[in-house]
Amino acid sequence: MRPYGVNSLSVADAIRYFSGVQLKDYGGIGGLKTVNVRSMGTQHVGVFYDGMQLGNAQNGIIDLGKFSLDNVEAISLYNSQNPDIFQPAKSFGSASSIYITTQQPSFKDSQSYHLKTAFKTGSFGLVNPSVYWQQQVAANIATTLSAEAVTAHGRYKTRYKKWAYDTTIIRQNADVASQRIELALQDLNKDTTTHWKIQGYFYNSERGLPEPLLRNAFIIHNGYGIKTFSHKALSSTGFRNATEHYSGLNMQMILPVI
């Protein structure tokens, strides 16, 4: 599926258009968003970003709401494995797979760069600016830069049920502040069977977890809950030819702090 014209904010919103997919949204723009295929469970779904499998050392679940559609060219869902035979052995360990492919630079004869900026806003203080830049640095070499920031206070009104719907309170500590930067350097020669790409990905977020509403005690238990911090850095270096697929560097670093 190509996400052009799809009314979605993130990869998780776009995946709901696939058949046989159950999307779980744990509330709000900062809530965890997971997917399972044909009720197999989220742990059995492998997520691949430009061919590199993603992981989470904390719980093994990938939050698809962290991936934006600004630089995504295609999203593929396989009920078993990718039919491509040139892939790592661990790619065959998932019952279903989601492949996210980023946009490839393409320039005409008189073009040397592409620049796209966007600004999104919404309810509960959502502000989402982004920039996407492609630059041709040589005849067959190009670099891409994708940066995005998401902020939202998350304060929304809700009804508190005591004996009657007579109290309106404001949900606190549901704020989100995240930043994403992605940089890549790759070749553009389509006439050869060997292609190389160097890519780096950094994601940082701070999200609030609201406290539960307790009956007859919401005035006492009106603290700010807890904060969750997520720092994620990915880097990959590899090349691909007609006979094999090699990944020279595959590093993931996830530092969740609660």
Domain boundaries of the chain, sorted by first residue:
11-254
Is 163 exposed, middle or buried (CB count within 10 Å of its CB: 0-12, 13-18, 19+)?
exposed
Longest dimension (CA), the chain: 73
Per DSSP, the chain holds a count of helices (H) and strands (E) of 1, 15
Handedness of CA 35, 40, 41, 47 (dihedral sign): negative
- Cα–Cα distances (Å) from 149 to 137, 183, 193, 205, in that order, read 26, 15, 37, 10
How far apart (Å, rounded) are the C-alpha atoms in residues 67 and 53? 14
- Going residue by residue through the chain (258 aa), what tens digit of pLDDT does each one get? 666 666 777 888 888 888 888 888 776 677 778 888 887 778 888 888 888 888 877 777 888 888 888 888 888 888 877 777 777 777 777 888 888 988 888 888 788 889 999 998 988 888 999 999 999 988 889 999 999 999 998 887 777 666 555 667 777 777 889 999 999 998 888 777 778 889 998 989 888 776 666 655 544 344 445 555 566 666 665 555 443 333 334 444 434 444
Phi-psi region of 214 (alpha: psi -120 to 50; beta: other; left: phi over 0): beta
pLDDT number for residue 215:
56
Q: Give the pLDDT confidence score for residue 244 in this predicted structure.
A: 38
pTM of the model: 0.75
The pair of structure tokens assigned to 196 is 């190389």
**11-254 belongs to which homologous superfamily?**
TonB-dependent receptor, plug domain (2.170.130.10)
Residues 250, 190: Cα–Cα separation, whole Å: 25
> Within a 10 A sphere around the Cβ of 105, how many other Cβ atoms?
17
User: Residue 249's pLDDT is what?
Assistant: 40
Q: How far apart are CA 235 and CA 183, in angstroms?
A: 10
Tokens representing 150 are 């998401």
Q: Locate all alpha helices (DSSP H) within 162-240, ordered by sequence.
A: none
